[in-house]
Amino acid sequence: MKSNFNDYEISDDKNQLQLKAIHNMLKETYWCKGIPEKTVASAIDGSHCFGVYKNNEQVGFARVITDKATFAYLCDVIIHENHRGQNLSKELMKAILKHPSLQGLRRICLATKDAHGLYEQFGFKVTEAPQNWMEIKNNDIYLNRG
């Protein structure tokens, strides 16, 4: 799957992914600060990934963890800071949500601290019953490894 938006391309071809660029973007985020490159590579390997490119340079990324039947978890959605403000996150979300392998799912989830406005435009809502969800979470896992 490929789509074009202005001078950008969005693709789910894993062969186009540029691990170093993805790692450099993710290791500075609040949700996986300090993540090792090896961990990013493993996460990519086990996920359906989407890249955003300009002139063959990776400037955006997202991945979806899914069973392709009932459930998907959208995560690591990021656009490089030099390319923000051009609706790339919206185009990336459109590409993800229209992807054939993500149709007919009962639930698509995500977690965000600061991008509710973006995701609400695509039908995401705050969980109706947060008391039904549980988690084990270690925000500093990548920083505490020696």
Q: Is residue 73 part of a domain?
A: yes
Q: Is residue 140 part of a domain?
A: no
Q: Is residue 85 part of a domain?
A: yes
The secondary structure of 17-76 as a DSSP string is: --HHHHHHHHTTSSSSTT--HHHHHHHHHTSEEEEEEETTEEEEEEEEEE-SSSEEEEEE
What is the bridge-based pairing of β-strands 2-5 and 8-11?
antiparallel
Q: Is residue 146 part of a domain?
A: no
pTM to 2 decimals? Answer: 0.91
Q: Is residue 121 part of a domain?
A: yes
- Dihedral in degrees, nearest 10, Cα atoms 24, 11, 95, 47: -60
Q: Is residue 138 part of a domain?
A: no
Distance in angstroms (rounded) separating the CA atoms of residues 27 and 43 = 13
From first to last of the 146 residues of the chain, give the pLDDT tens digit.
777 778 999 999 999 999 999 999 999 999 999 999 999 999 999 999 999 999 999 999 999 999 999 999 999 999 999 999 999 999 999 999 999 999 999 999 999 999 999 999 999 999 999 899 888 888 888 887 65
Number of domains into which the chain is organized = 1
CATH of the domain at 67: 3.40.630.30
Q: Is residue 65 part of a domain?
A: yes
Q: Is residue 141 part of a domain?
A: no
Domain hosting residue 91, numbered range: 2-132
